[in-house]
Structure 1
Amino acid sequence: MPRFYAVLRCAAVFAATLLWSATSLAAQNVAAAPQSSGVYYEIFVRAFYDTNGDGVGDLNGVTAKLDYIKSLGVSGIWLMPINPSPTYHGYDITDYEGINPQYGTMQDFKHLLDEAHKRGIKVIMDMVINHTSDQHPWFKAAQNPKDPHHDWYVWAKPGSDLKAISATGGPAWHRAPNGQYYVGVFTGAMPDLNYDNPAVRKEMIDVGRFWLRDGVDGFRLDAAQHIYDDLRTDIDSPVALKKNIAWWTEYRRGLQAVDPNVWLVGEVARHDPDDLTPYLGPLNTVFNFPVASQLIESVRQERNLGIGKGLQYSYAAYRAHTDGQFDDAPFLSNHDQDRVMSQLEDNAAHVRLAAALLLTLPGHPFIYYGEELGMQGAKPDEDIREPMRWYRAGKGPGVAQWKPWSTSDGPDVSVEAEQADPDSLLNLYRKLIGWREQVGALRDGVLRNVPMDDPHVLAYTLQDAHSRVLVVHNLSRDAREVPLDESAGVTKVLLQSKTGVTLAPGKLGLPPYGTAILQ
């Protein structure tokens, strides 16, 4: 049994959860005016929209599609790397203060920022600072042991085990042109920076400040756990963890000197919530990898695999660690994972349920471009980063052509087709994101699990200062009748993902794969 279940004291928690009163509920109101949904939209610029006809998506393409992005109801966008890089993906940077010329210019980027902010859309950049490209001028200079940049990287010393395995499972050491060996946790093309060197730490804080001064709202921090977590033997090292936390604390303070409201979300690819907790505080949030796996698997099995219990425990731990101030960043998939539709084997009903689960969780859910259309995509990585599907015919103005599609998606999986269909997945995403604008508790509420005897039902309450709701999901293909404790004081169905929800004294009827928000 995972650690985060063992410490739960379920009976006391469950009893407290259901102590609602009709009097208190009467005083609780859903937020009257629409607010931010808190949802972020991940964009691979190369694949999104091409404005100059060279086949490569560009920054002006993102700007051109801001009205589409706004129509989703999202609060912000995450741009995968936009710095110069020798690779298609950009996760090996050669200039931290430049723009990839295939994507446009600095002027194009500032225009994107201005237009996004006019629409109330925040922009966060991918910040890849665990390593550089081996083509970076710093690494080229580092070949000379007498150059100051030599100590900006991690070089082998007498006694170093050159056959050691890295924290990501490949060779840790790689031979440089000068004959020495250096650490590259991911590949030899991505030499790791030496964060024990104060000059490196200062430089990377200065890079962050540079972009904040240009108007960026924050950063998605790539490989946040690997700053000091280099070898397989470091994965559970308290020393490596302590040094990681110290660095990110220093980084945050350095950036807050320029923007006190800078928002930082870290990639810490661990699958036990207890491993994420230490990063809360130095960072605003980290991606919730444990719940991503649990959501997908629960939908696949059509069973509640302890989502509510796990989240209740995790959130309590996060609050204790951060004096009550924390965000969560749940998601279903990203640019490193098979797309949701492929994970769920092209089961449209399951995909719709997964969206409802994700978008009724508090915090800042992230959705991956094309996820709202039901795009398919399975590894290798290139095949999960394919061109956005704008048109029924596939081809059309602005369609990126950096690679051909590898999937069997037809004309119905496109913005053009789904815009016109009120029952499309795209419009379901819009509806669910809109719920978060209407009901503050869906964004900011404290989650309390509500136990159900039926293993096919997931229920939890969410409460913030303005609203309190009960969220109930039917995870199965059959209609369910869900018993409700009459002392809970539920008075009405506030929102429903599909028709057929019924509420009677002591019971709730849910259609197959249905979600209801009750007040």
Structure 2
Amino acid sequence: MKKPNSFRSIMAGALLLLSGATIPNVQAQSVQASQWPRGVTYEIFVQSFADSNGDGIGDIKGMTSKLDYLKNLGVEAVWLMPMNPSPSYHKYDVTDYYGIHPDYGTLEDFKAFIKEAHKRNIKVVMDMVINHSSSKHPWFLDAAKNENSPYRDYYVWTHKNDPQTQKEGRPTGADSDNTQHWHKLEGSDWLYYGYFYGGMPDLNFDSPKLREEVFKIGRFWFSEVGVDGFRLDAARHIFPDERPTDNHNWWVYFRNEMKKVNKDVYLVGEVWAPAEVVGPYLKGLPALFNFDMGYAITKAVNEEEAGDLVANHKKIRDFYQNVNPEYVDATFLTNHDQNRIMSAVNGDVNKAKMATALLLTLPGSPYLYYGEEIGMKGMKPDENIREPFLWDAKAKDKNRTTWMQPKYNAEGMVKPLAAQMKDKNSMYHHYKTFLQLRNNSQALTYGELEPLNLNTKGLSAFVRANEQQSLLVLHNLSKETLTVNLPQNLAGYDDIYFKNKGAKVSKSAVSIPGYSTVILKK
């Protein structure tokens, strides 16, 4: 074995060994393979992440103080949930598309955050909510009181005496939903369209003036502020559901406009639907969230049976690749709209760790939800899946937010980060180990996927390979030790690349302890 050629190489191996993992070839782990957008992105709800001024609300300066933590964890980008001024805690109803909510700080604070993130090679993706605005947005307030307002055409209207339009959904095309999306304008005979609820009136993308306004907003954040990309909320609902082609074409149009100000623009879309519905969006949104994979991983670890998880993942990827060969598969376990993964596996640490191992060894460009790495819990309603991050024990925690009373992550329910950093068997060290393993592997970052059936219940087996590296990945999803006899065509995988428990490898068989991973190199 060659000696490591740098201090970084030594430290890389040391950290993995500290976490209980075995990496015989330290040199193989010394070079960062991943390059964003093929790296790992960390999703932050700013309000709950880190408070810098003691007012109990997370803010931009608090996030800035945690950039070294994120860098050390192994993430290469952050996705920031909405930060624009808004009347709600979640801020998905925007009142000013050019501003920062005063609770979070100032535009200058955000520019400083971006500058510091870029110093650490961390990209910044911000949530852009353009399907709808707030009903308190000045555009809507003016349009609501004045039928001749210059902003009237920014929204979608119908008269109370036009029941057919209300039944169809929108005047611009039949919608599969009914009148629940139309909302009465108080003191008026007019109704306005809001797909989600009355406080979020839909913007009218049939209006050329509105479209140009949206381009202007995008240009501002790219050119004036310096963000690297947008996460696009409700990307499927720009036009009514029965106008999917208009939706697809809009995002191509939007991306082309954004590329004029940032040739490397990154756009990741939320299209919560089956693969056949998602696929056509890839022409305008080269990165899309893979909701199917998150559900499939959760099901597999809960049932302790891989089933068709890997084969289906490959099938979906192949389908997407035919639409856009350069697409970015934004994989994740759960996000801010779903019960947290630790709660989805009923608090079982072994199953949560296995879900992480699957996510970070299967193909994709993974997203992690803040707090996932310390095993935070949470179940709907939404506030309870967006609870404050636990940096330290409460008496010592200067950055913990207090804007809400947590139900699932109160003191004593989840070990805070500071305690987990000292525990080599913690969820934190498990995440960090697998992040580093993925980031430093050509095959795990870029390799193709070959599902394997080794006729062993409880085993998930697959090959990840590219021109530089070929790895055989074996996950034991069950609690029992599994002995796997490798067929002749896999006999060349005889070098232990990684293991995180006491696995044993002979020429023809591998013994894998319960809830553990072995990766063999050809």
Cα offset, 1:449, TM superposition: 1.1
Pairs within 5 Å for 1:295-314: 295-314=297-316
Instruction: Say whether 1:470 aligns with 2:464.
Output: no
Cα offset, 1:394, TM superposition: 6.3
Query: Distance in 2 between the 1:291 and 1:204 partners?
Result: 32
Instruction: Say whether 1:176 aligns with 2:185.
Output: yes
Pairs within 5 Å for 1:19-168: 33-36=31-34, 38-143=39-144, 144-156=146-158, 158-162=162-166
Instruction: Say whether 1:241 aligns with 2:244.
Output: yes
Cα offset, 1:159, TM superposition: 4.1
Provide, for residues 115-166 of structure 1, a one-character-per-residue CA deviation record: whole Å limited to 9, x for no partner: 0000111110001000000001111121222122111111125343536788
Query: Distance in 1 between the 2:474 and 2:104 partners?
Result: 43
Q: Secondary structure at 1:364's aligned position in 2?
A: coil
Cα offset, 1:383, TM superposition: 0.8
Q: Tell me the amino acid that sits aligned with residue 481 of structure 2.
A: A
Contact 2:377–2:408 under 8 Å retained in 1: yes
Q: Tell me the amino acid that sits aligned with residue 31 of structure 2.
A: A
**CA 1:297–1:471 in structure 2 vs 1: closer, same or farther (change >3 Å)?**
same
Provide, for residues 92-128 of structure 1, a one-character-per-residue CA deviation record: whole Å limited to 9, x for no partner: 0011110001100011000000000001111100010
Cα offset, 1:326, TM superposition: 1.6
Q: Which of 455, 463, 472 is equivalent to 1:453? A: 455
Query: Distance in 2 between the 1:342 and 1:46 partners?
Result: 21
Provide, for residues 304-338 of structure 1, a one-character-per-residue CA deviation record: whole Å limited to 9, x for no partner: 1311111111111111111x212111111111111
Contact 2:271–2:278 under 8 Å retained in 1: yes
Query: Distance in 2 between the 1:334 and 1:170 partners?
Result: 30
**CA 1:103–1:138 in structure 2 vs 1: closer, same or farther (change >3 Å)?**
same
Quick check: 170-179 or 440-449, which moved more? 170-179
Q: Which of 248, 269, 278 is equivalent to 2:280? A: 278
Q: Specify every segment of 5 or more residues in structure 2 that has no aligned partner in the other structure, as ranges.
A: 1-26, 170-174
Q: Tell me the amino acid that sits aligned with residue 457 of structure 1.
A: L
Contact 2:33–2:439 under 8 Å retained in 1: yes
Contact 1:481–1:507 under 8 Å retained in 2: yes
The aligned counterpart of 1:512 is 514
**CA 1:357–1:300 in structure 2 vs 1: closer, same or farther (change >3 Å)?**
same
Q: Which of 476, 491, 495 is equivalent to 2:494? A: 491
The aligned counterpart of 1:374 is 375
Q: Specify every segment of 5 or more residues in structure 1 that has no aligned partner in the other structure, as ranges.
A: 1-28
Cα offset, 1:167, TM superposition: 6.8
Instruction: Say whether 1:253 aligns with 2:263.
Output: no
Contact 2:339–2:378 under 8 Å retained in 1: yes
Q: Tell me the amino acid that sits aligned with residue 492 of structure 1.
A: D
Instruction: Say whether 1:269 aligns with 2:272.
Output: yes
Query: Distance in 2 between the 1:460 and 1:476 partners?
Result: 17
Q: Tell me the amino acid that sits aligned with residue 172 of structure 1.
A: H
Contact 2:353–2:430 under 8 Å retained in 1: yes
Instruction: Say whether 1:199 aligns with 2:209.
Output: yes
- TM-score, normalization by structure 2: 0.89
The aligned counterpart of 2:415 is 413
**CA 1:31–1:395 in structure 2 vs 1: closer, same or farther (change >3 Å)?**
closer
Question: Percent identity among equivalent residues?
Answer: 41
The aligned counterpart of 1:329 is 330
In the TM superposition, structure 1's runs of 4+ consecutive aligned residues that sit over 6 Å from their partners are 164-170
Query: Distance in 1 between the 2:372 and 2:366 partners?
Result: 13
Contact 2:501–2:517 under 8 Å retained in 1: no
Q: Tell me the amino acid that sits aligned with residue 459 of structure 1.
A: A
Query: Distance in 2 between the 1:307 and 1:267 partners?
Result: 22
Query: Distance in 2 between the 1:466 and 1:169 partners?
Result: 54
Q: Tell me the amino acid that sits aligned with residue 255 of structure 2.
A: R
Cα offset, 1:441, TM superposition: 1.6
Cα offset, 1:500, TM superposition: 1.4
The aligned counterpart of 1:6 is none
Query: Distance in 2 between the 1:454 and 1:161 partners?
Result: 57
Cα offset, 1:179, TM superposition: 3.2
Q: Which of 497, 501, 504 is equivalent to 1:502? A: 504
Query: Distance in 2 between the 1:176 and 1:463 partners?
Result: 58
Contact 1:167–1:185 under 8 Å retained in 2: no
Cα offset, 1:411, TM superposition: 6.3
Query: Distance in 2 between the 1:246 and 1:512 partners?
Result: 48
Cα offset, 1:518, TM superposition: 1.5
Cα offset, 1:168, TM superposition: 8.3
Contact 1:30–1:440 under 8 Å retained in 2: no
Q: Tell me the amino acid that sits aligned with residue 32 of structure 2.
A: P
The aligned counterpart of 2:14 is none
Q: Tell me the amino acid that sits aligned with residue 342 of structure 1.
A: S
Q: Tell me the amino acid that sits aligned with residue 122 of structure 1.
A: K
Contact 1:460–1:470 under 8 Å retained in 2: yes
The aligned counterpart of 1:19 is none
Contact 1:459–1:471 under 8 Å retained in 2: yes
Provide, for residues 374-405 of structure 1, a one-character-per-residue CA deviation record: whole Å limited to 9, x for no partner: 01111111111111111123662121111011
The aligned counterpart of 1:218 is 229
Provide, for residues 14-33 of structure 1, a one-character-per-residue CA deviation record: whole Å limited to 9, x for no partner: xxxxxxxxxxxxxxx95751
Contact 2:181–2:194 under 8 Å retained in 1: yes
Quick check: 163-172 or 448-457, which moved more? 163-172
Contact 2:51–2:57 under 8 Å retained in 1: yes
Provide, for residues 63-113 of structure 1, a one-character-per-residue CA deviation record: whole Å limited to 9, x for no partner: 011111111100110000000001000000011110001100011000000
Q: Secondary structure at 1:41's aligned position in 2?
A: strand
Contact 1:164–1:172 under 8 Å retained in 2: no
Provide, for residues 205-255 of structure 1, a one-character-per-residue CA deviation record: whole Å limited to 9, x for no partner: 2211111112101011100111113xxxx3xx3xx2101100000000000
Q: Tell me the amino acid that sits aligned with residue 131 of structure 1.
A: H
**CA 1:376–1:170 in structure 2 vs 1: closer, same or farther (change >3 Å)?**
farther
The alignment covers a number of residue pairs equal to 480
Q: Tell me the amino acid that sits aligned with residue 215 of structure 2.
A: I
The aligned counterpart of 1:10 is none
Provide, for residues 149-191 of structure 1, a one-character-per-residue CA deviation record: whole Å limited to 9, x for no partner: 1111111253435367887899210012343111111110000
Query: Distance in 1 between the 2:265 and 2:200 partners?
Result: 27
**CA 1:385–1:30 in structure 2 vs 1: closer, same or farther (change >3 Å)?**
same
Query: Distance in 2 between the 1:167 and 1:502 partners?
Result: 56
